[in-house]
Amino acid sequence: MPTPTPTRRTRRTRRPPEARADEIVQTARRLFATRGFRGTTVAAVAADVGITDAGLLHHFPTKNALLKAVLDHHTQVGADQIRAILAPQGLDGIRGLAAWGEVMESQPHLLGFEIALSSEAIEPASDLHEFFTARYTVLRRWLMRTFQQGVDAGEIRPDVDPAHETSCFVALLDGLRLQWFFADGGVPIADRVRTYVDQLVARIEVP
Amino acid sequence: MPTPTPTRRTRRTRRPPEARADEIVQTARRLFATRGFRGTTVAAVAADVGITDAGLLHHFPTKNALLKAVLDHHTQVGADQIRAILAPQGLDGIRGLAAWGEVMESQPHLLGFEIALSSEAIEPASDLHEFFTARYTVLRRWLMRTFQQGVDAGEIRPDVDPAHETSCFVALLDGLRLQWFFADGGVPIADRVRTYVDQLVARIEVP
DNA sequence: CTCTCTACCTAGTCATCACTAGGTTAGTGA
DNA sequence: TCACTAACCTAGTGATGACTAGGTAGAGAG
């Protein structure tokens, strides 16, 4: 038995930096989603991409820089989705929320990502805290505006409280996300959201 | 300058093992709530108690043993609360859920605990995953039974789906917990829960 | 073909942290 | 008062993981 695991010395596949950086961010997002930020090692991300940890740190100088890039990417994607769903105004916008559950179900890794990171974002000092705070603020502002449009247009009862409805709907989404992971047998997120929105519309629309 | 930091050699305060173990579990729960399990070191818990890490490991042989003790304690306390709130049967049990928000608001450290640990519970292998799964199962079973009692007693409309209402209520609680930490200015959890339950009761009760 | 630039590697360093071996002293019971 | 148990301590060990210094080779420019 000669050399143990010869491993075909240095089969390097060199890639343009931008493409490699994208690949790293995608992989990191996937691993963060299952093991969290602290629970994911730089080496693990690098191995999944097919390079070494030192190789990865050539693209992102520190682990925190990688986190920042992942959060930026995530924010970008999330904002696009929010915009798409909340494009219609007023009550139609609210009706459109029924589709949100399907969006969530189609991207389970995305669900894990936010759960995994939310815990590490509790201490107010962290980058993560800022990220989550910003995300909530944006989402709530969009939703509240949509409710308010409906009220102003006379489609929604004037006694409906946009702040309350917004809080509850966002809470529903976050809570269902958790159940997706922990309830045995799985929770039909899309069904739950659709039914909730149906009941919501029935309750708030002007007859 | 002789000895640096003399630190009053060995001011040992020795305590009976049971009292010390309790103290350690309480402290660990508090630290887990802000930094998570991975983010909390054994030494940090020990220092907060006033002993060394080795001293702590005399009471709990490994960090995982400590986690298990904390989870057991948490489960005990949580189960007592669930039982107390869901003591009334049927529609009255549902009406009683309005008080849940106040219970949550009165124990913010308890909120953090579950958020902090839920993220590390995503991977199905961990002790934590089992803990959360069990917790959800118990809570859902209690709630579904209460809804079903109401339907059977003719207090709740027969077309109400207990599984759906249960999912949504639990999701609301979990989601509000998150908002408690991330929404600027804070979310009035108790108000949100009470209003939600009022609307729920109005929607499902037989006229 | 050669030159150069840089993506990537090898081989470390250093800090952190769970855990251990063995000593020390505070209480407790006789 | 005198052991004796055990709740602590000191001082490690080894594993892990972020990050670094300096070398190597792939690929486009000329």
pTM strictly above 0.85: yes
Grouping H, G, I as helix, E, B as strand and the rest as coil, residue B6 is: coil
Backbone phi, psi, residue B84, to 5° = -65, -45
In this complex, the answer to whether residue A59 has its CB under 7 A from any atom of chain C, a nucleic strand, is: yes
Tens-digit pLDDT profile for residues A30-68: 999 989 999 999 999 999 999 999 999 999 999 999 999
* Contacts of A90 by beta carbon, 8 Å cutoff, 6+ apart: A146, A149, A150, A152, A153, A155, A156
Q: Which residue has the higher pLDDT, B18 or B193?
A: B193
Q: Report pLDDT for B158.
A: 97
Distance between CA B204 and CA B200 in Å, rounded?
6
Q: Report pLDDT for B111.
A: 85
Contact B164, A195 (CB under 8 A): yes
Distance between CA B165 and CA B205 in Å, rounded?
13
- The distance (Å) linking the CA of B54 with the C1' of C20 is 9
Other Cβ atoms within 10 Å of A43 Cβ, number: 12
Q: What is the DSSP string of A123-158?
A: STTSHHHHHHHHHHHHHHHHHHHHHHHHHHTTSB-T
Place of tokens 């890639």: A15
Rounded to 5°, angle at Cα A72 from A70 and A77:
95
C-alpha distances in Å from residue A3, one per residue of A7, A8, A95: 10, 11, 66
Write out residues 126-145 of B within 8 Å (CB-CB) of A.
Answer: 129, 132-133, 135-137, 140
In this complex, the answer to whether residue A14 has its CB under 7 A from any atom of chain C, a nucleic strand, is: yes
Other Cβ atoms within 10 Å of B109 Cβ, number: 11
* Contacts of A12 by beta carbon, 8 Å cutoff, 6+ apart: none
Residues on chain A touching B164 (C-beta within 8 angstroms): 191-192, 195
Q: Which residue has the higher pLDDT, A156 or A134?
A: A156
Distance between CA A34 and CA B51 in Å, rounded?
34
Write out residues 31-50 of B within 8 Å (CB-CB) of A.
Answer: 33-36, 38-39
